[in-house]
A and B are shown apart, each in its own frame.
Chain A
Amino acid sequence: DIQMTQSPSSVSASVGDNVTITCRASQGISSSLAWYQQKPGKAPKLLMYSASNLQGGVPSRFSGSGSGTEFTLTINSLQPEDFAFYFCQQGDTFPLTFGAGTKVEIK
Chain B
Amino acid sequence: EVQVVESGGDLVQPGGSLRLSCVGSGFTLSSYNMNWVRQAPGKGLEWVSYSRGSGSTMYFADSVKGRFTVSRDNAKNSLYLQMNRLRAEDTAVYYCGRNMMGPDDCIDVWGKGTTVTVSS
Contacts and interface: CB of A to CB of B under 8 A. Distances in A.
A69 interface: no
A49 B105 CA distance: 9
B59 A89 contact: no
Interface residues of B, number: 23
Contacts of B100: 46, 49
Interface size range on A against B? 20 to 34
A98 interface: yes
Contacts of A46: 100, 106-108, 110
B61 A91 contact: no
A46 B46 CA distance: 15
Contacts of A11: none
Given A87-B44, A94-B50, A96-B47, A44 B107 contact: yes
Contacts, number: 68
A19 interface: no
* Interface SS of A by simple majority: loop
Interface in A57-98: 87, 89, 91-92, 94-98
Nearest to A38: B45
Contact of A32 (B37, B104, B108): B104
A45 B15 CA distance: 33
A36 to B, nearest CB: 8
B113 interface: yes
Interface of B: 35, 37, 44-47, 50, 59, 61-62, 95, 100, 102-108, 110-113
28 contacts: A31-B104, A32-B103, A32-B104, A34-B104, A36-B45, A43-B95, A43-B110, A43-B113, A44-B37, A44-B45, A44-B107, A46-B107, A46-B108, A49-B100, A49-B102, A50-B103, A89-B106, A89-B107, A92-B104, A92-B105, A94-B59, A95-B47, A95-B62, A96-B35, A97-B47, A98-B46, A99-B44, A101-B44
Interface of A: 31-34, 36, 38, 42-46, 49-50, 55, 87, 89, 91-92, 94-101
